[in-house]
């Protein structure tokens, strides 16, 4: 049996709270999946930056470990140093955008987590103003996640710049 009318209201309110928590939880899950993918791309760019830096140092290292002047290198090595020097800042910028995107999505997950807590508090306290604060956290979390998505999209838009440059440079070699 359900008991008194008050018991029924509390149970319905608790069920409504659980229903209200579904939207922020779906957004939290979406943010987590998005972050996982962004972190994989971030790690790939990190590895590429380290690889190119090692390659640059290798090209500029002499047999005895001395640092060579780029002007003294054979033309093909000078060309590769030029390519690396052009690409590293582009990749570094993209790396920074992805880092910022991940941090924004993390912040959105935090705000959405607070919204779930706020929904539970609003039900427990039966105070509408607490529910409005929880709604504010949902809205803020959604906006912050969209900022993170925008930064990720900016990084993606720039993703082909470095490789396109390297290909264009390589295609001009020998045609001078």
The runs of H, that is alpha helices, within the chain are: 5-59, 75-125, 128-157, 159-172
The runs of H, that is alpha helices, within 60-127 are: 75-125
Residue among 104, 108, 98, 89 at smallest CA distance from 40: 98
| 67 strand-pairing partners | 61
Q: 133 is written with which tokens?
A: 């604060």
| Tens digits of residue pLDDT in 121-176 | 888 888 888 889 999 999 999 999 999 999 999 999 888 887 888 888 888 877 75
Domain residue ranges in the chain:
21-47+93-172
| Cα–Cα distance, 133 to 122 (Å, whole number) | 9
DSSP state of 120: H
| Tens digits of residue pLDDT in 47-71 | 999 999 999 999 999 888 889 998 9
What pTM did the predictor assign?
0.81
- Helix, strand or coil, per DSSP, at residue 100: helix
pLDDT, position 11: 47
Q: 27 is written with which tokens?
A: 């957004």
Confidence of residue 16 (pLDDT cuts 50, 70, 90): confident
Q: 137 is written with which tokens?
A: 């956290």
Q: Are 114 and 78 within 8 A, CB to CB?
A: no
Residue among 115, 120, 58 at smallest CA distance from 84: 58
Q: Report long-range pairs for 7-12 (Cβ below 8 Å, ≥24 apart).
A: none
| Cα–Cα distance, 74 to 79 (Å, whole number) | 9
């Amino acid at each position: 049996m359900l008991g008194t009318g008050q018991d029924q209201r509390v149970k319905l309110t608790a069920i409504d709270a659980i229903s209200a928590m579904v939207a922020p939880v779906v957004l939290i899950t979406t943010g987590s999946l998005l972050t996982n993918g962004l972190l994989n791309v971030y790690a790939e760019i990190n590895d590429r930056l380290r690889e190119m830096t090692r390659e640059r140092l290798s090209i500029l290292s002499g047999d005895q470990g001395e640092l060579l002047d780029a002007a003294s290198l054979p033309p093909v090595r000078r060309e590769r140093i030029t390519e690396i020097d052009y690409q590293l800042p582009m990749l570094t910028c993209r790396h920074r955008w992805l880092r910022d995107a991940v941090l924004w999505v993390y912040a959105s997950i935090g705000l959405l987590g607070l919204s779930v807590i706020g929904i539970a508090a609003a039900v427990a306290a039966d105070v509408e103003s607490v529910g409005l604060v929880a709604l504010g956290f949902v809205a803020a979390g959604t906006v912050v996640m969209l900022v993170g998505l925008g930064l990720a999209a900016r990084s993606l838009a720039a993703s082909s710049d470095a490789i396109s440059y390297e290909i264009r440079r390589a295609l001009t070699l020998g045609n001078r």
